[in-house]
């Protein structure tokens, strides 16, 4: 006997949540591309940083999946969008990452706004962790961009900074919502 799942019409919040799953997976793939670019440039600390960022974005996507499962909503696992692989330099790479984080923050804010407008206070509360996370992500990426600019082309200084500082070490927040399949 086949398992049949019905698709209920979704609220705006759940449509945005489903779209955000795509955005988080795409961000994960983009961060892999950045990490590989840094690996190819023999910049292991920057590569390591973005490999970790990729896993973190994957975990965010899977936390959104788990929330939809917990709320008994149908989940569609999307493909990812285009990923940029070619860059002229480190500053351009970090600027792309910062812009990506700002876009995610705007998307999460729209989700929170939709939940509030729909008087879905449970979903609004769920978005709060992600909003807090985006403040941290934007701050960390802004700091990394400043370090790159101040290094004035001396990438060994950037590498040393990342080696010394725990920038974007991720995965240590015990308040993170549950992740489908477990956090990586």
Binding site members: 24, 57, 60, 101, 134
**CA atoms of 125 and 108, how far apart (whole Å):** 12
Q: What angle do CA 27, 135, 117 make, to 5 degrees?
A: 85
Packing angle of the helix pair 12-40, 90-117 (nearest 10 deg): 170
Cβ(163)–Cβ(147) below 8 Å: no
Q: Decide: 45 and 163 in contact? Cβ < 8 Å.
A: yes
Extract the annotated binding site for Fe cation.
24, 57, 60, 101, 134
């Amino acid at each position: 006997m086949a398992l049949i799942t019905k698709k209920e019409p979704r609220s705006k919040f759940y449509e945005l949540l489903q779209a955000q799953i795509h955005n988080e997976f795409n961000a994960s793939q983009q961060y892999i591309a950045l990490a590989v670019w840094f690996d190819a440039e023999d910049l292991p600390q920057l590569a390591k940083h973005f490999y970790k960022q990729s896993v973190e974005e994957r975990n965010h996507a899977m936390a959104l999946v788990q929330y939809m499962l917990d709320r008994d909503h149908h989940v569609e696992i999307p493909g990812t969008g285009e990923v940029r692989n070619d860059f002229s330099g480190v500053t351009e790479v970090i600027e792309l990452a910062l812009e990506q984080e700002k876009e995610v923050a705007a998307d999460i804010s729209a989700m929170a706004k939709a939940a509030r407008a729909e008087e879905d206070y449970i979903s609004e509360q769920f978005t709060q962790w992600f909003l807090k996370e985006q403040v941290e992500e934007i701050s960390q990426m802004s700091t990394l961009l400043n370090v790159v600019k101040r290094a004035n082309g001396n990438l060994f200084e950037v590498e040393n900074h990342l080696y010394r500082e725990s920038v974007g070490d991720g995965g240590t927040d015990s308040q993170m919502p549950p992740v489908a399949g477990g956090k990586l």
